[in-house]
C-alpha cells in the first residue's frame, strides 16, 4: 500500500498518465467514425436550444449528438422523432477565421440536420423540467441576459459580449472556479449551522453543485471547478497529500477520457491553462488588492498565447480592468443574480448594478489603444510561449523578459515580412481583395463586399470576416480603399468598415455618385478622410496601380474602376463588374497582353469576359469571386469555357485564395 502511494505521488506517474490520455485523445480525433451515414429519421432527446430570428437550433442527444434546425419550438428534455437530411458543418472559408466544424466537433457534434418535420414522442420529465421552469422564470425580464449568463451559463444573449471579450473580462461571465468557490462557501456556511459533521455538508453541497453544473450545460470551466472541488475535499479529508497541480492533472485526464473532443473547446483550453499557471504562482501576496493584481497579471500572461491563437488580438489593459471587474462581478453581480432570481421584485437593484458596470465599460473604451492585433501563430509557437512562461515560474523570473521579447517580435513580425501578398477574401457574392506590400509599407483593399439588409437583419461581414481577417495578418490600417463602383456587393460594407477600422484614403470610380457612395462620403468627411474619384494612377514605391479609364457610361457596372498592376514580372488585372462593352474600349485604348492574374468581371457573368478580350490578354490564372450556390448561377458555363486555357480559381469552390510573391517566385494557396 505504501509503495502504491509512492507511485501515485511520483512525477513519472503523472507524466505517463498524461502521455496515455493524450495518446487516447489523438487516436480519438483521428479515428472517429460517425454512427450516422445517410439516415433521414432520428430519435433523440432535446438537451439545449437557441432561438434565432427565423428558426430554432436544437442540440439533440440521439445515437450521437446532432444539431437540428427547425421552425417550431419544443421544450428541453422532450423525446422527439426528427425527419430531415444530414449535412456536414462548414469549415472556415478564409484563412485563420472561425472554424464552425471544429467548434461543433469540440461539443462532439458532427452533423447538422435541417429538419422537415419533428414529432413529439414524450414530454419533458426529471431535471429538464426543473431547467425549463428556471428558463421560464427568467425570460422576458430586463435582466434576462445576465440571469442566463450566471444561472445557466449562457452568455450568448449579452449584447456587450464582444466588448467584454475584447477587454479581456469575458471570463467573468463563464461560471468557473471563482463563482463555484463563492457558491460552495455560501452553501457550507448555511449547512454548517445545521450539521456538525463536515462530510454531511460536503455530500449535500456536492449534490447541489452537481445539479448546478448540469444546469450550466456541464461547461468546461464549471466541470473543472466541480471536479477540482470534489478531489480537493477528498484529498484533505482522506489525507491523500496530492498537490494542487496533481489534482488538476486528474481532473484534466477525467474530462478528456469522458470527451476527448473537449480539447478543441476554447473554454476548455483557457480554463485549464489559466488554472495551471495560477497554481504555479509562487508564494502568497499580502492584502486582497495585491493578491488580486498578481492573480490578474498571471491570468493575463497565461491567456495571451491562446487569445492570439484564437482571436488574433489582446488587450493589455485587462490586468487593470480586472481589478475592478473581478470583485464587482464576484461579490455583487453574481450573488445578486441568484437573489433576483428568487425575488424578482429586486430586479431594479440588479439593473442598477448592471448600469454601473456598463459605465465602467465605457470608461475602459478610453484605453482602446492598449488593444493590439497580432498576426496568427501556429500551435508550435503557442507551446513555445508556454514553455518560456513555465521557465519564468519554475526556473527564474528573468525568463519573463524573454516572454515579453517574444511578444514584441510577434507584434512586429508582419513588418519584417519581405513578401508581396494578394488575398482574394471569400465574402460570398461580392468582391474584397487585399494587397499587402513587403514590410506592410502599403495596404490596399479593393472593394469591401456587402449584403443587402432586409427587415431587422444586417450583414455582419465586417465583424465576422473582414476585421478578424485583417487582425490575423497583423494589418491595423488600410492605406487606400478602392471602391470599384457603387453596387452593394462591392461597397455595401464600406461605411461600417470606415467607422470601425483605420482607413487612410478612399478612391471612387468615374461617373456620378449614387446613394451608397454619398452615405460613405458623409462618413469620410466627418472623419476627415481624403477621397478622390476617377484617378489615373496610384504610385507605390517602384510599382503603380493604373486605372484604365475609357469614358463615362450610363450604368454603374461599366463605370467600374478597372485596375492594372504590375509587380516584379507579374501582371494583374482587376475588372470590377465591367461588361464586354468596357472590355472593347479597353482593348482599343490600352495594350494588354499576357496577364498573369485576371480578376474576372462581374463574378463570371456572361455579360463579361468576351472571347476576343480573353484571347488578347491571355490570362495565366483567372480568379472568380462568387458566392456558393448563388441565385444568379454565376459563374456561367459559357464564361468558364472561354477561360478554360487558364487555371481557374473560384471562392465558391476554393474559399479564400492567397498569392505570395517573393522576387520571381510565386506560391498560390487556397483555404478549402
Among 6-10, 32-36, 154-158, the range scoring the smallest mean pLDDT is: 6-10
CA distance 70 to 83: 10
> Is the pLDDT assigned to residue 646 strictly greater than 90?
yes
> So what's the pLDDT on residue 455?
60
Mean per-residue pLDDT, 223-236: 86
CA distance 41 to 86: 10
Residue 240 in grid coordinates = 491523500
Query: What confidence tier does 219 reach under pLDDT thresholds 50, 70, 90?
Result: confident
Query: What confidence tier does 527 reach under pLDDT thresholds 50, 70, 90?
Result: very high
Q: Which residue has the cell 496577364?
A: 595
What's the distance, CA 551 to chain centroid? 44
Any idea what the Cα angle at residue 243 is, between residues 240 and 247, rounded to 5°? 80
On the question of a cis peptide bond just before residue 16, with omega within 30 degrees of 0, the verdict is no
Nearest Cα residue to 360 out of 311, 391, 317, 390: 317
CA distance 462 to 446: 14
More confident residue, 394 or 517: 517
Mean per-residue pLDDT, 219-226: 85
Nearest Cα residue to 228 out of 248, 242, 213, 208: 248
> Is the pLDDT assigned to residue 514 strictly greater than 80?
yes
CA distance 577 to 562: 9
**H helices of 51-142, where?**
100-106, 127-138
More confident residue, 190 or 285: 190
Give Dmax over CA atoms of the chain in angstroms: 97
Mean per-residue pLDDT, 87-99: 92
Instruction: Provide CB contacts within 8 A for 510, sequence distance 6+.
Output: 533, 534, 549, 552, 559, 561
> Is the pLDDT assigned to residue 4 strictly greater than 60?
no
pLDDT tens string 255-304: 999 889 999 988 888 888 888 888 887 655 567 778 888 888 888 888 89
H/E element holding 303?
Answer: helix 288-311
**Strand 371-373 versus strand 621-624 pairing type:** unpaired
CA distance 329 to 508: 48
Whether 634 contacts 625, CB under 8 Å: no
> Is the pLDDT assigned to residue 668 strictly greater than 90?
yes
CA distance 24 to 262: 13
CA distance 506 to 517: 11
Query: What confidence tier does 396 reach under pLDDT thresholds 50, 70, 90?
Result: confident
> So what's the pLDDT on residue 284?
57
More confident residue, 167 or 503: 503
Task: Count CA atoms closer than 13 A to 298's CA, side-chain side.
Answer: 22
Beta bridge partners of residue 3, listed in sequence order: none
> So what's the pLDDT on residue 339?
86
pLDDT tens string 470-493: 999 999 899 999 999 999 999 999
Q: At what angle do helices 198-215 and 220-237 cross, to 10 degrees?
A: 170
The three-state secondary structure class of 367 is helix
CA distance 28 to 37: 19
Mean per-residue pLDDT, 189-217: 83
> Is the pLDDT assigned to residue 592 strictly greater than 60?
yes
> Is the pLDDT assigned to residue 520 strictly greater than 70?
yes
Mean per-residue pLDDT, 131-146: 84
The three-state secondary structure class of 558 is coil
SS (H, E, C) 479-522: EEEECCCCCHHHHCCHHHHHHHCCEEEEEECCCCCCHHHHHHHH
Whether 576 contacts 560, CB under 8 Å: yes
> Is the pLDDT assigned to residue 155 strictly greater than 90?
no
CA distance 626 to 604: 8
Task: Count CA atoms closer than 13 A to 396's CA, side-chain side.
Answer: 4
Q: What percentage of residues in the chain have a pLDDT greater than 90? A: 35
Whether 339 contacts 346, CB under 8 Å: yes
pLDDT tens string 598-638: 999 999 998 888 899 999 999 999 999 999 988 888 999 99
More confident residue, 598 or 192: 598
Q: Which residue has the cell 449547512?
A: 191
Instruction: Provide CB contacts within 8 A for 1, sequence distance 6+.
Output: none
Q: Answer positive or negative: Cα dihedral of 227, 232, 234, 235.
A: positive
Query: What confidence tier does 497 reach under pLDDT thresholds 50, 70, 90?
Result: very high
H/E element holding 524?
Answer: helix 515-526
SS (H, E, C) 77-133: CCEEEEEEEEECCCCCCCCCCCCHHHHHHHCCEEEEEEEEEEEEEECCCCHHHHHHH
Query: What confidence tier does 9 reach under pLDDT thresholds 50, 70, 90?
Result: low
Query: What confidence tier does 5 reach under pLDDT thresholds 50, 70, 90?
Result: low
pLDDT tens string 343-368: 888 888 888 988 998 888 888 888 88
The overall average pLDDT reported for the chain is 87
The DSSP code for 89 is: P
Output phi, psi for 371, to 5 deg. -90, 115
Strand order in the sheet with 433-436: 530-533, 503-508, 478-482, 443-446, 433-436, 420-424, 657-662, 665-670
Whether 444 contacts 503, CB under 8 Å: no
First to last CA, the chain: 56
CA distance 574 to 583: 12
> So what's the pLDDT on residue 509?
92
Q: Which residue has the cell 432527446?
A: 45
Amino acid at each position: 500500500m505504501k509503495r502504491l502511494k509512492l507511485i501515485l505521488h511520483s512525477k513519472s506517474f503523472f507524466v505517463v498518465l498524461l502521455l496515455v490520455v493524450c495518446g487516447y485523445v489523438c487516436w480519438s480525433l483521428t479515428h472517429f467514425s460517425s454512427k450516422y451515414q445517410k439516415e433521414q429519421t432520428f430519435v433523440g432527446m432535446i438537451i439545449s436550444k437557441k432561438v434565432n430570428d427565423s428558426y430554432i437550433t436544437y442540440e439533440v442527444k440521439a445515437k450521437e449528438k446532432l444539431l437540428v434546425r427547425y421552425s417550431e419550438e419544443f421544450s428541453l428534455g422532450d423525446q422527439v422523432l426528427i425527419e430531415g437530411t444530414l449535412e456536414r458543418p462548414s469549415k472556415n472559408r478564409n484563412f485563420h477565421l472561425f472554424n464552425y466544424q471544429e467548434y461543433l466537433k469540440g461539443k462532439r457534434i458532427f452533423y447538422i440536420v435541417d429538419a422537415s418535420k419533428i414529432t413529439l414522442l414524450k414530454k419533458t420529465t426529471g431535471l429538464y423540467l426543473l431547467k425549463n421552469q428556471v428558463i421560464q422564470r427568467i425570460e422576458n425580464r430586463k435582466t434576462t441576459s445576465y440571469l442566463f449568463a450566471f444561472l445557466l451559463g449562457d452568455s450568448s444573449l449579452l449584447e456587450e459580449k464582444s466588448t467584454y471579450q475584447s477587454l479581456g473580462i469575458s471570463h467573468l461571465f463563464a461560471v468557473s472556479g471563482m463563482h463555484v468557490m463563492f457558491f460552495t462557501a455560501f452553501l457550507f456556511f448555511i449547512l454548517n449551522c445545521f450539521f456538525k459533521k463536515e462530510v454531511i455538508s460536503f455530500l449535500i453541497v456536492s449534490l447541489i453543485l452537481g445539479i448546478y453544473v448540469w444546469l450550466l450545460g456541464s461547461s468546461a470551466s464549471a466541470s473543472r471547478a466541480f471536479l477540482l472541488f470534489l478531489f480537493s475535499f477528498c484529498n484533505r479529508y482522506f489525507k491523500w497529500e496530492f498537490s494542487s497541480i496533481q489534482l488538476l492533472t486528474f481532473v484534466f485526464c477525467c474530462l478528456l477520457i469522458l470527451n476527448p473532443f473537449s480539447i478543441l473547446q476554447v473554454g476548455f483550453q483557457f480554463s485549464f491553462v489559466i488554472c495551471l499557471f495560477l497554481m504555479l504562482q509562487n508564494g502568497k501576496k499580502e492584502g486582497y488588492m495585491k493578491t488580486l493584481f498578481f492573480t490578474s497579471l498571471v491570468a493575463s500572461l497565461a491567456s495571451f498565447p491562446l487569445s492570439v491563437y484564437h482571436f488574433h488580438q489582446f488587450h493589455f489593459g485587462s490586468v487593470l480592468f480586472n481589478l475592478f471587474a473581478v470583485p464587482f462581478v464576484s461579490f455583487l453581480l453574481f450573488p445578486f443574480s441568484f437573489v433576483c432570481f428568487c425575488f424578482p421584485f429586486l430586479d431594479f437593484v440588479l439593473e442598477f448594478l448592471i448600469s454601473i458596470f456598463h459605465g465602467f465599460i465605457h470608461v475602459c473604451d478610453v484605453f482602446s489603444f492598449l488593444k493590439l492585433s497580432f498576426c496568427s501563430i501556429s500551435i508550435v509557437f503557442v507551446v513555445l510561449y508556454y514553455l518560456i512562461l513555465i521557465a519564468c515560474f519554475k526556473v527564474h523570473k528573468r525568463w519573463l523578459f524573454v516572454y515579453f521579447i517574444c511578444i514584441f517580435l510577434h507584434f512586429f513580425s508582419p513588418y519584417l515580412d519581405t513578401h508581396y501578398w494578394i488575398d482574394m477574401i471569400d465574402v460570398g457574392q461580392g468582391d474584397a481583395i487585399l494587397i499587402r506590400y513587403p514590410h506592410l509599407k502599403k495596404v490596399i483593399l479593393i472593394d469591401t463586399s456587402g449584403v443587402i439588409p432586409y427587415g431587422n437583419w444586417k450583414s455582419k461581414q465586417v465583424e465576422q470576416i473582414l476585421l478578424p481577417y485583417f487582425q490575423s495578418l497583423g494589418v491595423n490600417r488600410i492605406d487606400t480603399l478602392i471602391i470599384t463602383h457603387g453596387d452593394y456587393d462591392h461597397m455595401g460594407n464600406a461605411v461600417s468598415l470606415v467607422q470601425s477600422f483605420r482607413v487612410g484614403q478612399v478612391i471612387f470610380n468615374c461617373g456620378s455618385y449614387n446613394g451608397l457612395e454619398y452615405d460613405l462620403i458623409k462618413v469620410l468627411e466627418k472623419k476627415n478622410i481624403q477621397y478622390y474619384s476617377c484617378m489615373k494612377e496610384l504610385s507605390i514605391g517602384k510599382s503603380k496601380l493604373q486605372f484604365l479609364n475609357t469614358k463615362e457610361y450610363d450604368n454603374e457596372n461599366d463605370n467600374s474602376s478597372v485596375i492594372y498592376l504590375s509587380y516584379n514580372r507579374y501582371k494583374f488585372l482587376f475588372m470590377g463588374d465591367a461588361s464586354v462593352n468596357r472590355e472593347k474600349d479597353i482593348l482599343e485604348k490600352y495594350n494588354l497582353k499576357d496577364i498573369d492574374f485576371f480578376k474576372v468581371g462581374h463574378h463570371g457573368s456572361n455579360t463579361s469576359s468576351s472571347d476576343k478580350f480573353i484571347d488578347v490578354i491571355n490570362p495565366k490564372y483567372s480568379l472568380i469571386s462568387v458566392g456558393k450556390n448563388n441565385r444568379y448561377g454565376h459563374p456561367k458555363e459559357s464564361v468558364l469555357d472561354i477561360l478554360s486555357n487558364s487555371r481557374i480559381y473560384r471562392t465558391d469552390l476554393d474559399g479564400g485564395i492567397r498569392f505570395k510573391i517573393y522576387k520571381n517566385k510565386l506560391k498560390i494557396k487556397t483555404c478549402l
